[in-house]
């Protein structure tokens, strides 16, 4: 895969770069700037080399419509605070404001185009529509750098089609993510433990299938844990349940047993009659969940069991929280897993998305883990063995 270091001297050149600035917002306040900070090594190298840097990024799902709620204005302000360069936000994506901003750009400084998902063709399933938009993007650059790992699994104009039009290479973030994920898939040091949480089993079924071939132990938590409990024949009350996948999950549990692999599921659960911090919160064994209550976190016995499994690992990959960590009453399980990873000597990878937000919200520093990925979906698809268009297009380009 070609990288930024294969693109030669970039002084005075216009470098079009795709970043992933899809940060969580509370109104106009960024609540986790991890994805902006993750882009700094590449952006700093470009500005210090005297490149004219034009950044493409998205925020949220505006679905091809201009929506001020999803403007990149807060991102431009925060990037300007973090980097020693002038950052200008263009008023549109490929319109007159963008052209004027890029035309006025001087070496060592940055123009951030508005949210590329304001353009209907950005995510189009019609190749010709995306290619036409990519041709407009290409007017802003002499070379293209792909550094938005969180979108490399998408065939989108600013990720895939643009890389076919300009000399292209991966930025430091994408190159690092690929290096880490290769370590997990090709020769992980054992024991290799994978922790999977989050709400939906369906999102992670294929990765479970693939990981059973390479991991020694799978730890299951979060909303998906209740589908596994149901597969054991337990009552799960009003907990999140993917009823259509119960039989598939039974098959995975049988497969793991046949292969001598371990799948750990919750032995106790924090339940409540409602989704919220209200009264009635209690801890019950997982085979005694009341029919009128829902599970919202793993219990303390489960947290200790999972921490012990992590303690003995040499490699750990974690994707998905153990409970509704945003609410203090249901954050203990996720915090216990994060603490176990932080205390471990294992090579630990936190797989993006909610997991990355959780460890920061719960007070952990990035350097307490081996690697915090910026791409939850992209990480999972890579581990699943899928082809990622945004990476494939950089091969031999």
Binding site residue list for (2R)-3-phosphoglycerate: 35, 117, 154
Neighbouring C-alpha atoms within 13 Å toward the C-beta of 87: 21
Is residue 221 annotated as a catalytic residue, yes or no?
Answer: no
For 235, list phi and psi in degrees, rounded to 5: -70, 135
Q: Which residues are annotated as a binding site?
A: 20-22, 35, 58-61, 117, 154, 204, 295, 326, 352-355
Kindly name the residue from 169, 222, 353, 376 that is annotated as catalytic. 353
Q: Which residues contact 316 (CB under 8 A, 6 or more apart)?
A: 192, 193, 194, 195, 310, 341, 344, 346, 347, 348, 349
Q: Which of 292, 210, 306, 192 is nearest to 255 (CA)?
A: 210
- Helix H or strand E encompassing 346: none
Is residue 333 annotated as a catalytic residue, yes or no?
Answer: no
Q: Which residues are annotated as a binding site for ATP?
A: 204, 295, 326, 352-355
Match 């969580």 to its residue by tokens. 24
Q: Which residues are annotated as a binding site for substrate?
A: 20-22, 35, 58-61, 117, 154
Token digits for 87? 């950052």
CA-based Rg of the chain, rounded to a whole angstrom?
22
For 383, list phi and psi in degrees, rounded to 5: -65, -25
Neighbouring C-alpha atoms within 13 Å toward the C-beta of 272: 15
For 219, list phi and psi in degrees, rounded to 5: -110, 125
Q: Report how far residue 76's alpha carbon sits from residue 91's, in angstroms, rounded to the nearest whole number.
A: 12
Kindly name the residue from 13, 14, 18, 35 that is annotated as catalytic. 35
Kindly name the residue from 2, 200, 232, 386 that is annotated as catalytic. 200
Is residue 35 annotated as a catalytic residue, yes or no?
Answer: yes
Kindly name the residue from 34, 91, 370, 377 that is annotated as catalytic. 377
Is residue 18 annotated as a catalytic residue, yes or no?
Answer: no
Burial class (CB in 10 A: 0-12, 13-18, 19+), 11: exposed
Match 């399980």 to its residue by tokens. 333
Q: Report how far residue 302's alpha carbon sits from residue 286's, in angstroms, rounded to the nearest whole number.
A: 10
Q: Report how far residue 390's alpha carbon sits from residue 397's, in angstroms, rounded to the nearest whole number.
A: 12
Q: What secondary structure letter does DSSP report for 3?
A: B
Q: What secondary structure letter does DSSP report for 149?
A: G
Q: Which residues contact 72 (CB under 8 A, 6 or more apart)?
A: 21, 57, 59, 89, 112, 114, 115
What region does 85 belong to: left with phi over 0, alpha with psi -120 to 50, or beta? beta
Catalytic (active-site) positions: 35, 200, 353, 377
């Amino acid at each position: 895969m070609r990288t930024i270091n294969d693109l030669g001297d970039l002084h005075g050149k216009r470098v079009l770069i795709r970043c992933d600035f899809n940060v969580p917002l509370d109104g106009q306040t960024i609540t986790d700037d991890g994805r902006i900070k993750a882009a700094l090594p590449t952006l700093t190298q470009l500005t210090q080399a005297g490149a004219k840097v034009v950044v493409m990024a998205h925020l949220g799902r505006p679905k091809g419509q201009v929506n001020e709620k999803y403007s990149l204005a807060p991102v431009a302000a925060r990037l300007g605070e973090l980097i020693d360069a002038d950052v200008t936000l263009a008023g549109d994506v490929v319109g007159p404001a963008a052209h004027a901003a890029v035309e006025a750009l001087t070496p060592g400084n940055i123009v951030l185009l508005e949210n590329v998902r304001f353009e209907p063709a950005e995510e189009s399933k019609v190749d010709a529509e995306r290619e036409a938009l990519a041709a407009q993007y290409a007017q802003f650059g002499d070379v293209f750098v792909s550094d938005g790992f969180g979108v490399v699994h998408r065939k989108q104009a600013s990720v895939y089609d643009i890389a076919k039009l300009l000399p292209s290479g991966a930025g430091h973030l994408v190159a690092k993510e690929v290096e880490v994920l290769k370590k997990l898939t090709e020769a992980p040091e054992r024991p290799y433990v994978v922790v999977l949480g989050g709400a939906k089993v369906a999102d992670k079924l294929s990765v479970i299938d693939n990981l059973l071939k390479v991991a020694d132990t799978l730890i299951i938590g979060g909303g998906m844990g209740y589908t596994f409990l149901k597969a054991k024949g337990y009552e799960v009350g009003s907990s999140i349940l993917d009823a259509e996948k119960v039989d598939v999950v039974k098959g995975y549990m049988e497969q793991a047993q046949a292969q001598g692999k371990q799948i750990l599921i919750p032995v106790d659960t924090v339940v409540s009659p409602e989704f919220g911090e209200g009264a009635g919160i209690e801890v019950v064994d997982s085979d005694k969940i009341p029919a009128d209550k829902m599970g919202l976190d793993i219990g303390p016995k489960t947290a200790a069991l999972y921490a012990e499994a992590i303690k003995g690992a040499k490699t750990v990959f974690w994707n998905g929280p153990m409970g509704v960590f945003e609410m203090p009453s249901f954050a203990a399980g996720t915090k216990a897993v994060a603490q176990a990873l932080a205390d471990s000597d294992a090579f630990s990878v936190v797989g993006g998305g909610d997991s990355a937000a959780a460890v920061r919200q719960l007070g952990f520093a990035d350097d307490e883990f081996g690697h915090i990925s910026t791409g939850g979906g992209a990480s999972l698809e890579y581990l699943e063995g899928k082809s990622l268009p945004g990476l494939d297009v950089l091969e031999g380009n």
